[in-house]
Structure 1
Amino acid sequence: MAVMTIRNIDDAIKTRLRIRAALHGRSMEDEARAILRAALSTEPVRPRDLGQAIHARFAALGGVDLPEVPREPSREPPGFEA
C-alpha cells in the first residue's frame, strides 16, 4: 500500500476529522481512508447542460399541449400612400 502525507490542514478540519473518527470508533487515519474510499468509489456525476436540467426538473409533470399560434397578421399592415 502507498503512504501519503497531507500537510497544512486547517485546525478546524483536523478537529472535525478527529470527532468524526471518534464517532465511528476509528483512528483519524482510518477515518480519512474511509472518507477517501467513499468519495472516490462512486462514478463521477456528469454535469448537465441547462436544457437537460430543465427537462429533468419538469419531466414528472408530463407534456403540455399549447394552442397553435395564428399565422395571419393580427392587424392590417400600415399603408404608406400619400
Structure 2
Amino acid sequence: MASMTIHGLDDGLIQRLRMRAAAHGHSMEDEARHILRTALASSEPVAGNLADAIRTRLLSVGVVELDIPSREPIRELRDFTP
C-alpha cells in the first residue's frame, strides 16, 4: 500500500480531524483514510465545457427557434429634484 504526507494543513483543520476521529473512535490516520475513501467513492462526472453539456442534454428536445422581441429606445429619466 502507498503512503503519502500532506504538508501545510492549518491547525484548525488538524484539530477538527482530531475531534472527528475521537468521536468515531478512530486514529487521525484512520479517520483521514475514511474521509478520502468516502469522498472518492462516488463517481463524479469529469468537468467539461458547460456549453457542450447543455447542448448535449438538449439534443433530445430538438431545435427551438425563439422570437427575439424588438428593442425600444431607453426612456428618459424622471427628474425627482424638488
| TM-score normalised by structure 2 residue count | 0.55
Misfit runs of 4+, over 6 Å? none
Q: Which residue of 1 aligns with 2:34?
A: 34
Distance 1:28 1:44 in 2: 26
Cα RMSD (Å): 2.3
Deviations along 1:34-81, one digit per CA (max 9) or x if unpaired, are: 00000011110467x58x6xxxxxxxxxxxxxxxxxxxxxxxxxxxxx
Identity %: 54
Alignment gaps of 5+ in structure 1: 53-82
Q: Which residue of 1 aligns with 2:14?
A: 14
Alignment gaps of 5+ in structure 2: 55-82
The count of aligned residue pairs is: 54
Greater Cα shift, 37-46 or 20-29: 37-46
Q: Which residue of 2 aligns with 1:3?
A: 3
